[in-house]
Amino acid sequence: MKLELLMKIPERGKEEGLAAYAQRLTELYSNTNSSESRKHRGQFFTPEQVSSFMVSLFDITHKKIRLLDPGAGTGILSAAFCERLLNNGKTGNLIIDAYENDPNILPFLKMVLGSCKSELEKNGLDVEYNICDKDYILQNKSYFTKSDLLWNGEKPVLYDFIISNPPYYKLDIESPQASIMNELISGQPNIYALFMALSASMLKAEGEMVFITPRSFCSGLYYKKFRQWFLKNARITNIHIFESRKEIFNQDDVLQENIIIKAKKLKDIEKHNKIIISESKNKHFDKISKLEVQSEDVIFRKNGDIFIRIPTSPLDIEILDVIDSWPHTLKELGLEISTGPVVSFRAEEFLLPELTEKPASVPLLWMHNMKDMNVVLSIHKEKKSSAIKVSSETKYLLLPVKNYVLVKRFSSKEQERRLYASVLLESEFPFKHVGIENHVNYIHKPGGALSVNEAFGIASLLNTTIIDKFFRSLNGNTQVNATDIRSLPLPDIENIRKIGKAVYESKSYKNGIDLDGIIAGILGLKIETQSLNG
Ligand SMILES: C[S@@+](CC[C@H](N)C(=O)[O-])C[C@H]1O[C@@H](n2cnc3c(N)ncnc32)[C@H](O)[C@@H]1O
C-alpha cells in the first residue's frame, strides 16, 4: 500500500459509532486493494449489522474482560463489542488481543482499536489492546499441542470471549498450519475450521465464542474429524442462519451459505441441553424467527459420524424424527446409485445432434429430459447432443435399458426443491441401450432390475417436500450428491412399492403436495401435509 494512502486514513467522525467507523475503513481498504489479493487472504469482511448481531449473543456479566479477535481485519468485530459495552453502560477493564497478518490492513486496525480505547476510556472503562501481526495458528500452536500439564506452571492466557469471522481458503495438507492440527483433518483442510478449533482451545472454562463461518463444517466428510473434536470440546448454544445465501458479504461474490454459531467452553458437556436456532431473511435481521430445540435434534450421531443439522421450524424437527426412524438405505434394499457415465466433452466423437439409424444410435439423456416424473425425449437444448452412437467403442458408456430412477445432480435456479427424480420406464423406452449424461445420477439394482412400483416409489419419495426439508436441515448445498442419497434413510420395500403403485396408477405423477399426501397416507405419518408448502 502506498505511503500517502496510509497517511490519509480518516479519523472517526464525532457522531460516528465505533462499528460504523470500522465499516467505513473496511470499505476504504476494499476500494484500494484488489479483490484478488483480498480473496487470496480469505478476506470477506463482516457488515456492521452482522457484527452487532454477533456481539449481542454474548452473555457479558464480567467486570474484567479478555477478548480475542483472530483475523481481525479492520477490527469491526472488536468495535461492535466495545459499542455493546458502551451501550450497556459497563465499567471495568477490557483487554483486546487482535491477530491480523496482512500488513496493508494493520494501519486501519490500529486506527479502529485506538478509537475504541479512547471512546471507552471516556466512559469509565480501562482498555488495553494488543495487535499481533503474525499468523494466528502458528503463533498459538502450543494451545493446541500442549496439554495443561506441559505448560510448566507458565499459565497460558485464556479468553472470556472470542469473536471472529475467520479467513476462508483451502490449505495445503503439508502446510505447517495443517500439520499442527492434523488430528482434525480428514481431507483438504480449510483454514476457517482451524481458527475455530484453536479458538475453542483458547477459551476459559465457561468462556464463549461467536463465529461467522461457511456452513460446510456441519456435514460432509472433509470436516468429520473436526466436528468430532469440536463438539467434544465446546457446546453449541446458538446457531443463526440466513435465508438468502448471497447477501451477507455483498461486496464480495460469496456463494457459500454462512452461519453464525455461538459455542461455550464447558467442562461437562451435558447431553440434554437446548440450542437456539434463529433465522433472518438477510443481513438486516428483519423477520427474525427463533426456535429452541433439544441438542439431540441438532447434534446427530450415526454410524460413527456426527452431524450438525439445522431445523428451522417445529415441522422440520418432526420430519427429522420421521425420516430418522426409517429403517433402510439404498444399499440395504440391494440398490445402488451411480453417476451417468457420458461426459460429453470426452465422448464428443460419439455424440450426434439427432437419433440416426445409420450409424446406429440411442438417446442420450440429460437433466433437461427429466420432466415431472417422466423422461421426455422430445426436449432438446441447443448445443446438447441428443444421441450417442452404438459401437464397440461406446459399449462401456451405454447402459442396458431397464427401469431406472434418474436424479438430477444439480438444481436449476427456478427449481424449488433440491432433489428432482424421474423414472425411466423400460416399457415406454423403445431402445435396447441408453446413454446417461454425467449431470444425472441413476438408481439401479445391480444384478437385477427395479420393478415399476419400486422405481416410482423411490422417485416419489425423493420428490417430496418432506425429503427436501430433511436435506435442507442437513446441509446448505444446492446440489445433492450420490453420497447424500446413499445415506438417506428409506422406508421398507413393501411400503415403497405401495407408494409407487399409488402414484403410478394415479397417472398424474404430480410433485409436491400430492406426493406428500400419498406418502403420509401410506406410511401413516401424522405430519400435517397441508403445512408443508407454507
Ligand atoms: C474474513 S476476514 C475478516 C476480517 C474482520 N474480522 C471482519 O470481520 O470483517 C479474515 C481476516 O483474517 C486475516 N488472516 C488471514 N489469515 C490469517 C492468519 N493465518 N493469521 C491471522 N490473520 C489472518 C485476513 O487478512 C483477513 O483480514
Residue 202: the pLDDT is 95
State the CB neighbour count (10 A cutoff) for residue 99.
21
- Whether 163 and 213 have beta carbons less than 8 Å apart is answered as no
DSSP letter for 272, please: S
DSSP three-state, residue 260: strand
Q: What is the pLDDT of residue 247?
A: 61
Are residues 118 and 238 both part of a single domain?
A: yes
Residue of 118, 52, 47, 48 lying closest to 88 (CA atoms): 52
> Is the distance from the beta carbon of residue 511 to the nearest atom of ligand 1 less than 6 Å?
no
pLDDT for 508 equals: 67
Q: 7 vs 104, 108, 115, 227, CA distance in Å?
A: 13, 11, 16, 45
- What length is written for the chain? 534
- CB-based contact 521:528 (threshold 8 Å): no
Q: Would you state the cell numbers that stand for residue 196, as one nine-digit string? A: 475455530
Q: How confident is the model at residue 416 (pLDDT cuts 50, 70, 90)?
A: confident
Question: Measured from the CA of 69, which atom of ligand 1 is nearest?
Answer: 6
| CATH assignment at residue 424 | 3.90.220.10
Angle CA 204–210–212, to nearest 5? 145
Model pLDDT for residues 97-108, shown as the tens digit of each residue: 999 999 999 999
SS3 456: helix
Residue 212 CA: nearest ligand 1 atom is 8
Reading the block at residue 175, the C-alpha cell is: 502446510
Within this chain, do residues 261 and 336 fall inside the same structural domain, yes or no?
no
Per-residue model confidence as pLDDT tens digits over 188-213 = 889 999 999 999 999 999 999 999 99
Question: Could you give the CA distance from residue 471 to residue 309 in angstroms, rounded to a whole number?
Answer: 9
What is the β-pairing status of strands 387-389 and 361-365? antiparallel
Residue 407 grid coordinates: 436424479
Containing 308, the helix (H) or strand (E) segment is: strand 305-308
Residue 169 maps to a domain:
yes
Ligand 1 neighbourhood includes 190 CB (under 6 angstroms) = no
Pair (213, 79) in one structural domain: yes
- Give yes or no: residues 421 and 524 share one domain: yes
**Count of structural domains, the chain:** 2
Radius of gyration in angstroms for the set of CA atoms belonging to the chain, rounded to a whole number: 27
- CATH code for the domain of 260: 3.40.50.150
Q: Is the distance from CB of 119 to CB of 82 less than 8 angstroms?
A: yes
Ligand 1 centroid to Cα of residue 167, in Å, is 5
| Segment 232-273, tens digit of pLDDT | 999 999 999 988 666 666 544 555 689 999 999 986 666 668
Considering the domain architecture, whether residues 363 and 465 belong to the same structural domain is answered as yes
488-533 pLDDT, tens digit each:
999 999 999 999 999 998 876 645 557 888 898 899 888 776 666 5
Given this model, what pLDDT does residue 145 score? 82
Which residues are bridge partners to 352 per DSSP?
387
pLDDT for 7 equals 58
Is the predicted pLDDT of residue 75 greater than 80, yes or no? yes
| Ligand 1 centroid, distance to 30 Cα (angstroms) | 13
Reported as a single tens digit per residue, the pLDDT across 429-471 is 999 999 999 999 999 999 999 999 999 999 999 999 999 999 9
On whether residue 5 sits in a domain, the answer given is no
Predicted pLDDT of residue 412? 63
| pLDDT tens for each residue of 135-148 | 999 999 999 887 65
- Has residue 289 been placed in a domain? no
Query: What does the block give as the cell for 413?
Result: 435456479
Mutate-to-test residue for ligand 1 from 24, 36, 37, 41, highest number of ligand atoms within 8 A of CB: 41
- Cell numbers for 144: 493446541
Within-domain flag for 291: no
Q: Is the CB of 101 under 6 A from ligand 1?
A: yes
What 3 state SS string does 395-418 have?
A: HHHEEECCCEEEEECCCCCCCCCC
pLDDT of residue 281: 83
Of all protein residues, the one whose alpha carbon is nearest to atom 11 of ligand 1 is 71
Q: Which domain holds residue 258?
A: 17-268
- Whether 442 contacts 336, CB under 8 Å: no
Is 72's C-beta closer than 6 angstroms to any atom of ligand 1? Answer: yes
Report CA dihedral (366, 367, 368, 373) to the nearest 10 degrees: 110
| Phi, psi for 345 (deg, rounded to 5) | -70, -20
Q: pLDDT tens, 207-236?
A: 999 999 999 999 888 899 999 999 999 999
Is 321 a member of any domain?
A: no
Question: Does residue 287 fall inside a structural domain?
Answer: no
Tell me which of 161-175, 188-202, 405-419, 504-518 is least confident: 504-518
Residue 263 lies in a domain: yes
Residue 427: per-residue pLDDT: 96
Question: Tens digit of pLDDT for each residue in 22-43?
Answer: 999 999 998 888 888 888 887 8
Residue type, 158: L
Question: 206 with 352, same domain?
Answer: no
91 CA to centre of ligand 1 in angstroms: 29
pLDDT surpasses 70 at 1: no
**Per-residue pLDDT at 413 exceeds 90:** no
Q: Of 236, 268, 300, which residue constitutes the final position of a domain?
A: 268
Give the number of C-alpha atoms closer than 13 A to the C-alpha of residue 300, restricted to the C-beta side: 20
Q: Which of 244, 268, 292 is the last residue of a domain?
A: 268
- Ligand 1: which of 69, 96, 97, 100 to mutate, judged by most atoms within 8 Å of the beta carbon? 100
Pick the atom of ligand 1 nearest to 44's CA.
Answer: 1
Q: Which of 96, 97, 102 most suits a substitution to test ligand 1, by most atoms within 8 Å of the C-beta?
A: 102
Question: CA triplet 230, 232, 234: central angle to 5 degrees?
Answer: 65
Asked whether residue 5 carries a pLDDT value surpassing 60, the answer given is no
Same domain, 196 and 84: yes
* pLDDT tier, 153 (very low <50, low <70, confident <90, very high otherwise): low
41 lines ligand 1 (CB under 6 A): yes
Identify whether residues 28 and 105 lie together within a single domain: yes
Choosing from 97, 116, 163, 165 the residue with most ligand 1 atoms within 8 A of its CB, the one to mutate for a pocket test is: 165
Question: Is any ligand 1 atom within 6 A of the Cβ of residue 165?
Answer: yes
* Model confidence at 419: pLDDT above 80: yes
Q: Angle at CA 143, nearest 5°, toward 198 and 208?
A: 50
Determine the pLDDT at residue 8.
83
> Are residues 173 and 88 both part of a single domain?
yes
Contact between 164 and 99 under an 8 Å Cβ cutoff? The reply is no
Q: What percent of the chain has pLDDT over 90?
A: 71
Average pLDDT for residues 71-79, to the nearest whole number? Answer: 98
Q: What is the mean pLDDT of the chain?
A: 90
Cis peptide before 491 (omega within 30 of 0): no
- Burial of residue 152, with CB atoms counted within 10 A of its CB: 0-12 exposed, 13-18 middle, 19 or more buried: exposed
The pLDDT score that the predictor gives to residue 403 is 98
**Who's near 305: CB < 8 A, 6+ residues apart?**
224, 227
pLDDT in the model for residue 479: 79
- The pLDDT value recorded for residue 509 is 60
Atom of ligand 1 nearest to the CA of 137: 19
Co-location of 256 and 113 in the same domain: yes
Is residue 348 situated within a structural domain?
yes
Which of 250, 268, 286 is the endpoint of a domain?
Answer: 268
What is the distance between the alpha carbons of residues 199 and 193, in angstroms, rounded to a whole number? 10
Provide the pLDDT for residue 245. Answer: 60
pLDDT at 39: 82
In a shared domain, residues 176 and 252: yes
Q: Does ligand 1 lie within 6 Å of residue 108's CB atom?
A: no
| Residue 390 CA to ligand 1 centre (angstroms) | 55
Residues forming a β-bridge with 97? 68, 130
Whether residues 40 and 169 fall in one domain: yes
Q: Which atom of ligand 1 is nearest to the CA of 74?
A: 5
